Amino acid sequence: MAHTHAVHGLGFRMDHASVSVGDVEAGIAFYGDLIGFHRIDRPNFDFPGAWFEVGGLALHLTTGGDTRGADAALRPNDPHFAVAVDGDLDAFLDHLRGHGVEVFELENSPAALRQTFVKDPWGNVIEFCINRPPGSD
């Protein structure tokens, strides 16, 4: 649903997120094979990349941009994108841990029932959360 800004008269809605990876094929393996995001068609740009569909929005993987690096700290206040999870979050996180992915959970979050954070091999932070039901503040 787009919201119209009173001053500009423009409608806004989130369209996609983009992260830079060091290697597109390794990014496809991480985001597609390991995490399970659904790969979608990508136009034929003159630079490498891959697209995924995540909950109705697109995630674009590109190369050549800045990356934080594999050794970057895993902190919830670093730039990230968040994915709301329906299902067994613990089993999913155990799956990621089993493949060497570090997981950080923000205990007693005031914003969600659960907020967990992981990094891809290039240091991009991804949040997996279980939101509070509407009106349960």
Cβ atoms of 116 and 96 within 8 Å: the answer is: no
In whole angstroms, give the CA distance from residue 46 to residue 19: 17
pLDDT of the residue at 118: 98
CA-CA distances (angstroms) from residue 74 to 12, 45, 84?
30, 32, 19
In DSSP terms, 60 is beta-bridged to: 18, 51
Q: Is the pLDDT of residue 2 over 80?
A: no
Output the pTM of the full model.
Answer: 0.89
CA-CA distances (angstroms) from residue 62 to 7, 45, 58, 67?
34, 10, 13, 11
pLDDT of the residue at 30: 98
* Domain of residue 40, CATH code: 3.10.180.10
pLDDT of the residue at 12: 84
Compute, in degrees rounded to 10, the torsion defined by CA atoms 103, 107, 113, 118: -20
Per-residue pLDDT tens for 44-74?
Answer: 999 999 999 999 999 999 998 889 999 999 9
User: Is residue 135, in this structure, part of any structural domain at all?
Assistant: no
User: Is residue 34, in this structure, part of any structural domain at all?
Assistant: yes
Three-state DSSP state, 29: helix
Strand 125-130 relative to strand 114-119: parallel, antiparallel, unpaired? antiparallel
Per-residue pLDDT tens for 83-132?
Answer: 999 999 999 999 999 999 999 999 999 999 999 999 999 999 999 999 98
Residue-number span of the structural domain to which 77 is assigned: 3-130
Mean pLDDT of the region 2-19: 79
Q: Is the pLDDT of residue 4 over 80?
A: no
Q: How many distinct structural domains can be found in the chain?
A: 1
